[in-house]
Amino acid sequence: MGLAIDAACDLSQAFLQQHHVAVMPITVRVDGEVFLDDRKPAEIQRFIDRRLGSRSHSAETEPCPVEEVQKLFLEKLVLEQDCVFCLTITATRSPINEHVNKASFGILKNYRQVREQAGVPGPFMMRVIDTRNIFAGAAPLVYEAARLIAADEAPGVIRERLTHLANHTYGYMLPRDLYYLRARAKKKNDRSVGLVSAMLGSALDIKPILRCFRGETGPVGKVRGFEQGAEALFGYTAQRVRAGLLVPMVCVSYGGDLEVLPHLPGYTELRVVCEEHGVEVMEAPMSITGMVNVGEGAVTVGFAAEEHEAEF
């Protein structure tokens, strides 16, 4: 059994390599430049070095098309695995889930001939899972899928568990630049961040804390200043860790150099709390797609927990 994700799922490169996770790329066009967002560190660094995340309001992102998904599976994955779980960011924010579902019909129709020609016996299965979250919020499902595969659980058991977790996964985000966020949101007809909040944020340095839960994204709190916002977000995450998580991991992604994270208020304390409770902290670079849509320097945190109200 294997795993495939779309590039907007924020996970560390070490994790992707360890579990041989296939990445469905996203094409990003900014100011005439083209980036292939496939979570490769070199391409992410090239984007950061070009400082495009601060002026890419007009950027266009193109999720992996149906034909490319079919090609990835029929030329590679159906020859390497008997079952692949394909996890995507929430279908409410991206068409990639729809693309993969459409591609699955052609894959399941044509895989037999491909496998027979290569001398690979037996049937092939693929299961498409909507994580119902974005960025770091997609990570707990992928982490749990890898754990269940390593434990040799049956595909039906894995799918049921992941479907359950998709309704209990939280993705929180702290943006640096509200005007940038609003410009991107307006371009995508997204009303999550309004003009009034952007103007207020600029005048008073108020930052919203946004949450994605069950596919819905919106503000759940506000703080004064990015530093205080980081402290509030990490402190809140530590509270949830103490209360108990459904998956023993917290993913923290950052839209820039990961070396910034230890210098943010509250981050070291969060790591200590996680260690005390046997919870792994995964640090991941935000995807190019993520930086294009929410701006450089944003922080996102993802974890799976019992349903709770956000308290900021």
Q: Which of 265, 2, 5, 308 is nearest to 134 (CA)?
A: 5
> What class is the 2-167 domain?
alpha beta
Stated length of the chain: 312
Record the tokens describing residue 191, joined without a space: 């009303």
| Res. 196: pLDDT tops 60 | no
For the segment 169-182, the average pLDDT, to the nearest whole number, is 88
Q: 184 near 198, Cβ under 8 Å?
A: no
Record the tokens describing residue 199, joined without a space: 């103007």
Under the phi-then-psi rule, with left for phi > 0, alpha for psi from -120 to 50, and beta for the rest, what region is 310?
beta
Q: Which of 200, 188, 156, 210 is nearest to 292 (CA)?
A: 188
Cα angle: 74, vertex 76, 78; to 5 degrees: 60
Q: 126 near 89, Cβ under 8 Å?
A: no
Q: What residue ranges do the domains of the chain occupy?
A: 2-167, 169-305
**pLDDT band, residue 32 (cuts 50/70/90):** confident
| Res. 228: pLDDT tops 70 | yes
Least confident interval from 21-25, 31-35, 140-144, 188-192: 188-192
Same CATH topology for 2-167 and 169-305: the answer is no
Other C-beta atoms lying within 10 Å of the C-beta of residue 148: 19
Rounded to two decimals, the pTM is 0.94
**Is residue 168 helix, strand or coil?**
coil
| Res. 129: pLDDT tops 70 | yes
Alpha-carbon distance of 237 to 242, in angstroms, equals: 9
Task: Find out if CATH 2.40.50.1070 is the number for domain 169-305.
Answer: no
Alpha-carbon distance of 298 to 46, in angstroms, equals: 18
pLDDT of residue 74: 96
